[in-house]
Chain A
Amino acid sequence: MTNNDRPLSPHLSIYRWPVTMASSILHRGTGLALAIGFIVFVGWLFDAAMGPDTYAAFTGFMGSGTGILLLVGWSYAFFYHFCNGIRHLVWDSGRGLGKRASTTSGWLVIILSIVVTALFWLVVS
């Protein structure tokens, strides 16, 4: 006997995304992106230790269009994960868990992370 004909229970695609859901998924996504960014961070340190030639190869790629795009992505991931991480720590203290407070803080974190990323690149470049 197969179960193939049975209707599936509603899944992700059927719901309107509340900001709390989006911010939660984004937290995990940016966390995973940062785990990959950790490899590049260590590569930066290690290539600097290897010497000027190896380091030049690293900055050569990271200074290219693709490299800059990746760095912008990682900086956004960092600032989002940073801001939303603080939101999580506030939640852990038992504060701000209500429907309205968590929706407001969700939007705040999303907007703030974009603004801070833009400011960072304005200052650094």
Chain B
Amino acid sequence: MSLRSPLGRVLGLGSAKHGTAHWWGQRVSAVALACLGLWFVVAIISLPGFGHAEVVAFISHPVNALLLMLLSVAMGYHSWLGVQVIIEDYVHAHVLRLVLLFLSRFAHIFLGVAAVFAILKIGLGT
């Protein structure tokens, strides 16, 4: 017995093909983070110091600013996907689960925007 709907059988299209979006998003951001993370570790090691002047000089360099923004966005996205799965796995109370999923998404967007704003502010020197 086929479980496909009569319409689906006629059209021959199957699902909407979006079922793997979450999985793919996690892998794509993981590959991006492997590259950006490696760069960040090297950058941290080669930083002359962690004082305000040194750090601002580092962030305001255009290449560093660009890579830091990409790192922040990729990190926020990857973290959001991961935390979402953890909440879905362990929080079973419907309302609490929904509230936490909302909060997690808001927090990740907030942090991503805050990071990009801070980098731009330092980079543009205003």
Contact = CB atoms under 8 A, between A and B. Distances in A.
A102 B98 CA distance: 36
Interface residues of A, number: 29
A56 B50 CA distance: 10
Contacts of A88: 30
A45 B119 contact: yes
Given A42-B111, A82-B34, A86-B34, A49 B86 contact: no
B27 A49 contact: no
B79 A34 contact: yes
Contact of B118 (A48, A82, A89, A92): A48
Interface residues of B, number: 32
Nearest to A29: B86
Nearest to A62: B50
**Most chain B CB within a 10 A radius of its CB, from A31, A78, A88, A123:** A31
Contacts of B86: 28, 31-32
Nearest to A53: B52
Interface of A: 28, 31-32, 34-35, 38-39, 41-42, 44-46, 48-49, 51-52, 55-56, 59, 78, 82, 85-86, 88-89, 92, 120, 123-124
Given A85-B30, A86-B34, 5 more contacts: A41-B75, A42-B118, A48-B118, A49-B121, A52-B52
Interface of B: 27, 30-31, 33-34, 37-38, 41, 44-45, 50-52, 55-56, 59, 68, 72, 75-76, 79, 82-83, 86, 111, 114-115, 117-119, 121-122
18 contacts: A31-B79, A35-B79, A35-B83, A38-B75, A38-B76, A38-B111, A41-B75, A42-B72, A42-B114, A44-B55, A45-B72, A45-B115, A49-B117, A55-B52, A56-B52, A59-B51, A85-B34, A124-B45
